[in-house]
């Protein structure tokens, strides 16, 4: 069975990161912003695991991936709590309405 080249993984990871970046920069919904951040973190995970697949003597890529997953879970929990609190006050999840957080 033939192995998939590293370049293919990196192209998919770059496409995922690009979609996440565009979603983060263009959308105004806070939930979509959080999903875009998660998409960018998952593209980094794909890159780390792909490099670990090439360099099999070290498991550093997989170890870093577990740390990124833990950070993503914490970011999702804290981010959703902030969005929920913001929705209770403003009755919207649009990031343009977040001027309340400036004070």
Domain ranges in the chain? Answer: 6-95
| pLDDT score of 61 | 87
Long-range contacts of 86-94 (CB under 8 A, 24+ apart): 86/30, 93/29, 93/30, 93/31, 94/28, 94/29, 94/30
Angle between helices 30-54 and 6-26 (to 10 degrees): 170
For 6-95, CATH gives 1.10.287.3510
94: pLDDT confidence band, cut at 50, 70 and 90? confident
Tens of pLDDT, residue by residue over 34-82, are: 999 999 999 999 999 999 988 888 888 889 999 999 999 999 999 999 8
Q: What pLDDT score does 102 carry?
A: 58
Q: What is the mean pLDDT of the chain?
A: 89
């Amino acid at each position: 069975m033939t192995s998939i080249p590293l370049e293919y993984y990196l192209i998919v990871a770059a496409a995922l990161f690009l979609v996440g970046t565009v979603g983060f920069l263009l959308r105004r919904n806070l939930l979509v912003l959080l999903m875009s951040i998660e998409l960018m973190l998952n593209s980094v995970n794909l890159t780390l695991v792909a490099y670990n697949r090439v360099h099999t003597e070290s498991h550093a890529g997989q170890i870093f991936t577990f740390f990124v997953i833990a950070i993503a879970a914490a970011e999702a929990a804290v981010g959703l709590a902030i969005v929920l609190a913001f929705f209770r006050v403003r009755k919207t999840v649009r990031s343009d309405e977040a001027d309340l957080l400036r004070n």
